C-alpha cells in the first residue's frame, strides 16, 4: 500500500468514528502563536505576530465568555515562549472541548507581500493540501523542529495520531464554520479551508483548528490587524463560527440519543 493510500484509509477510519460530545458551554483553549524569542511574522511598520495574536486572543477570550458562557484558557497570557509540545500538553491537561490556535501569515518577497492578503483556516492532516499550506505548516512547525520536536518518523507519528483521533471530523466541521464566519464578517479575502501537518494540532483530544487571520506582511491588511476594532470583528466572527459548530454538534448528538432510545426494548 502506498503512503497516500494509507493516509486515505486512516482518514476514512477516523471520519467514520464517533466524535466526542461537545458541551453547550464549552471549555476552550485559545493558543496565541509564538512568543518570546519566537516573534513570528513582522509587519512593514514593525509589529510582530506574537504581540498581535496575543491581543486578539485576549479579545477572543472575552467574547467567548460573554457570548457563549465559555470557560477560556490561554496557552500564554504574556510575551513568553511556550514550546509547541508544551502547548499541546497544557491543552490536554485542561481537557478542553475546543482548541483554537491563532496566527498571522506572511509572504517572503516584496512582490508577494504587496499582493497577498486574506484568511486561511487549517485542520490536521498528514499531508498539506497545497504548496502554500505546506509552506505555512513548515514555518509554524520550525520552532518544534529546532527545540523540542518529535523524534523518529514524523509522518508515522501523524498517521498514528489521526488513526486514534475521534475528533478529526469535528475539527473539519469547526474549521469550515469558523472560516465562513471570518470571511463574511471581516470582508477579508477567502483563501480557503486547508489541511496540513501542524505540530500544535497533533495529539489534541478535542476538535482543533489553526487560524491564519490575515497577512501581517501586507501593507493594508497589517494595518487592519493591529486595529482594536478589527481585532474585535475577528474575535466575534470566530465566536459566531464556534456557536454554529456547537449547534451542529448538539443537534447531531441529540439525534443520536433519540435513535439510541428508539432501539431500547
Residue 125 lies in a domain: yes
Question: How remote is the C-alpha of 26 from its chain's centroid?
Answer: 16
- Split into its structural domains, the chain has a count of 1
User: Listing from the earlier edge strand, what are the strands of the sheet with 71-74?
Assistant: 71-74, 27-32, 98-105, 208-215, 119-124, 190-196
Q: What is this structure's pTM?
A: 0.83
Residue 39 lies in a domain: yes
Residue 5 lies in a domain: no
Question: What pLDDT is recorded for position 22?
Answer: 57
Residue 126 pLDDT greater than 80, yes or no: no
Residue 6 lies in a domain: no
pLDDT of 101-122, one tens digit each?
999 999 999 999 999 999 999 9
Lowest mean pLDDT across 38-52, 83-97, 178-192, 224-238: 83-97
Assigned C-alpha cell, 22: 461537545
Residue 2 lies in a domain: no
Q: How far apart are CA 173 and CA 100, in angstroms?
A: 13
Question: What pLDDT is recorded for position 64?
Answer: 98
Higher pLDDT, 6 or 143: 143
In Å, what is the CA distance from 171 to each residue of 65, 132, 161, 256?
Answer: 21, 20, 14, 19
pLDDT of 130-180, one tens digit each?
888 878 888 777 766 554 444 445 556 566 565 555 578 899 999 999 999
Q: How far apart are CA 245 and CA 135, in angstroms?
A: 28
- For the chain, the average pLDDT equals 84
Q: How far apart are CA 263 and CA 70, in angstroms?
A: 34
Question: What pLDDT is recorded for position 162?
Answer: 58
Residue 244's CATH number: 3.40.630.40
Strand partners, 208: 99
Assigned C-alpha cell, 81: 515562549
Strand partners, 72: 28
Q: How far apart are CA 135 and CA 196, in angstroms?
A: 9
Share of the chain above pLDDT 90, in %: 61
Lowest mean pLDDT across 153-162, 176-185, 232-241: 153-162
Residue 164 lies in a domain: yes
Structural domain range at position 29 = 24-251
β-bridge pairing 208-215 and 119-124: antiparallel
C-alpha count within 13 angstroms, C-beta hemisphere, residue 87: 31
CB atoms within 10 A of CB 256: 13
Q: How far apart are CA 108 and CA 218, in angstroms?
A: 11
Residue 257 lies in a domain: no
The three-state secondary structure class of 95 is coil
Question: What pLDDT is recorded for position 4?
Answer: 41
Residue 87 lies in a domain: yes
Amino acid at each position: 500500500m502506498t503512503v497516500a493510500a494509507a493516509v486515505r484509509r486512516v482518514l476514512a477510519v477516523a471520519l467514520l468514528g464517533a466524535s466526542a460530545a461537545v458541551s453547550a458551554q464549552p471549555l476552550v483553549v485559545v493558543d496565541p502563536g509564538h512568543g518570546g524569542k519566537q516573534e513570528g511574522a513582522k509587519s512593514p511598520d514593525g509589529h510582530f505576530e506574537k504581540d498581535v495574536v496575543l491581543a486578539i486572543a485576549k479579545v477572543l477570550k472575552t467574547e467567548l465568555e460573554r457570548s457563549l458562557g465559555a470557560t477560556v484558557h490561554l496557552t500564554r497570557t504574556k510575551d513568553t515562549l511556550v514550546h509547541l509540545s508544551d502547548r499541546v500538553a497544557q491543552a490536554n491537561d485542561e481537557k478542553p472541548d475546543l482548541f483554537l490556535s491563532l496566527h498571522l501569515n506572511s509572504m517572503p518577497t516584496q512582490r508577494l507581500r504587496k499582493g497577498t492578503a486574506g484568511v486561511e483556516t487549517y485542520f490536521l492532516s498528514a499531508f498539506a493540501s497545497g504548496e502554500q499550506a505546506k509552506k505555512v505548516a513548515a514555518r509554524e512547525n520550525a520552532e518544534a523542529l529546532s527545540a523540542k520536536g518529535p523524534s523518529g518518523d514524523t509522518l508515522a507519528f501523524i498517521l498514528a495520531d489521526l488513526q486514534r483521533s475521534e475528533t478529526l471530523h469535528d475539527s473539519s466541521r469547526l474549521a469550515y464554520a469558523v472560516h465562513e464566519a471570518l470571511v463574511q464578517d471581516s470582508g477579508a479575502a477567502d483563501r480557503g479551508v486547508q489541511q496540513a501537518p501542524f505540530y500544535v494540532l497533533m495529539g489534541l483530544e478535542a476538535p482543533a483548528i489553526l487560524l491564519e487571520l490575515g497577512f501581517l506582511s501586507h501593507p493594508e491588511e497589517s494595518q487592519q490587524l493591529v486595529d482594536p476594532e478589527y481585532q474585535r470583528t475577528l474575535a466575534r466572527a470566530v465566536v459566531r463560527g464556534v456557536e454554529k459548530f456547537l449547534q451542529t454538534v448538539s443537534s447531531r448528538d441529540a439525534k443520536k440519543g433519540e435513535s439510541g432510545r428508539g432501539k431500547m426494548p
